[in-house]
Structure 1
Amino acid sequence: MSSSTNITGLILAGGRAQRMGGIDKGLIAFHNKPLIESAINRLQPQVDTILINANRNVTKYAHYGYPVIMDETPDFSGPLAGFSMGLKNCKTPYLLTAPCDSPLLPTDLAERLLAELKAGDLDLVYASTKENGKVWAQPVFCLMRSHLETSLSAFLSKGDLKIDRWFTTLRSSTVVFEDVQAFANVNTPEELAALEKLSR
């Protein structure tokens, strides 16, 4: 049995995309297909099942055949709100999260994060990249144990929405990925064009 049968993948498509003029990022065309399709295709082989966290265009996202879950707070309160809903709907021991706008996400994301989590008996492991000798956290790409729902609910109930602050309350670690472009995301029309060119 592969480890993927223990993992639920959560694709985060609940943001406001202000830098893209407020359009729903997951539905923007990337190589003539909605961005979210690239995320699904890359995540699918790594997990047992997928959940999509979206706060608008729910019927369009539901068309992919996966459950679509909305934030409990209707005010676009960031990735932790999506994590929270993912954990509440997760029926496997682990939840792997990724944004809808990183179409080149690593195909070994689950495998590497899970190996680190098990080796250190950790609660959560997130991805990082290295550029110019500096390590940059990529916190929306992370693998967590599903029992963290209680911890996250308590953290959010204090009104804190900072992802890295929640991580510091847990036994967490990171895995550094060499391929920086695998985590490239689309925030502007220019970035979208550059990414399409890069991935031809």
Structure 2
Amino acid sequence: MTQDDITLLVLAGGQGRRMGGVDKGWTRLHDKPLILHVLSRLEGQTRGVLINANRSLDAYEQLGYPVITDIEGDFKGPLMGILSGLTAASTPWVLVVPCDTPALPKDLVTRMIDGIGERDIAVAHDGERAHPVVALMRSDLAPDLREALAAGERKIDRWYARHHWCHVDFSDQPEAFTNLNSPQDKANLSQRLVGDGST
């Protein structure tokens, strides 16, 4: 596998309930939307980029990448966003990341490639816990995921367990996976990004 075999899928289709229902992709951090922080960390490292969104569609489209909505509505969670991306991707592999994790490792793509081996799915792990929505997976898992969703599955970990999967160790940079679920998270991450020069 090379970077040219991968499509980057940015999940921006959630309801943002823990942030008061805001579209988290457009929440600003250092005067820049979170979606732009995420893209700037990984741009140019995959063959293409897809953005999964269910609102603010015009704004996301202005970023210059294809925007895909959930195949089924009613905000059915990240698995539906992943299915939508796997279905739309033209590459054999998809790297999934959330839109609200603005300090992702800049070497995420290469380390996920190196870590997956012969497995179907690789999930980032910060040394203490896994981050299921930061994952590299085969595009041809789409039919199985569609079947799981049709059966009512909504738990991402349970769907991963159906396949040959692994963790990829990022314990050297655990803070890279901090996401924004509250105003306090935003304040903490703002300080951290200033400290490491990532703004």
TM-score above 0.5, yes or no: yes
Cα pair 1:102 1:185 within 8 Å, conserved: yes
Report the alpha carbon displacement of residue 116 of structure 1 after superposing the two structures with TM.
2.1
**1:77 to partner: Cα distance:** 1.1
**Which residue matches 2:197?**
none
Distance (whole Å) between structure 2 residues aligned to residue 51 and residue 81 of structure 1: 14
Alignment TM-score, normalising by the size of structure 2:
0.94
Give the secondary structure class of the aligned counterpart of 1:64. coil
Q: Percent identity?
A: 42
Q: Look up the match of 1:24.
A: 23
Map of 2:112 onto structure 1: 113
2:64 pairs with 1:70: no
- Once the two structures are superposed, the pairs formed by residues 26-175 of structure 1 within 5 Å of their partners are 26-117=25-116, 119=117, 121-130=118-127, 135-175=128-168
Deviates more, 1:83-92 or 1:39-48: 39-48
Residue matched to 2:170: 177
Q: Distance in 2 between matches of 1:141 and 1:44?
A: 16
Q: Does structure 2 retain, via aligned residues, the 8 Å contact 1:46–1:108? A: no
CA–CA distance in structure 2, aligned partners of residues 182 and 116 of structure 1:
17
Aligned mates of 1:75, 1:176 — CA distance in 2: 34
Shift of residue 194 of structure 1? 1.0
Tell me by how many angstroms 1:185 deviates.
0.2
| Partner AA of 1:163 in structure 2 | I
**Post-superposition shift, 1:74?**
1.5
In the alignment, is residue 191 of structure 1 matched against residue 185 of structure 2?
Answer: yes
TM-score, normalising length: structure 1: 0.94
Distance apart, 1:109 and its partner CA: 1.3
CA distance in 1, matches of 2:115, 2:175: 22
The answer for unaligned runs of 5 or more in structure 2 is 195-199
- Shift >6 Å, 4+ stretches: none
- How many residues of Structure 1 are paired with residues of Structure 2 in the alignment? 193
Deviation at 1:79, TM superposition (A): 0.8
Conserved? CA contact 1:46–1:107, under 8 Å: no
CA distance in 2, matches of 1:18, 1:125: 27
Letter paired with 1:176:
D
The separation in 2 between residues aligned to 1:176 and 1:114, in whole angstroms, is: 12
Where in structure 1 are there 5+ consecutive unaligned residues?
none
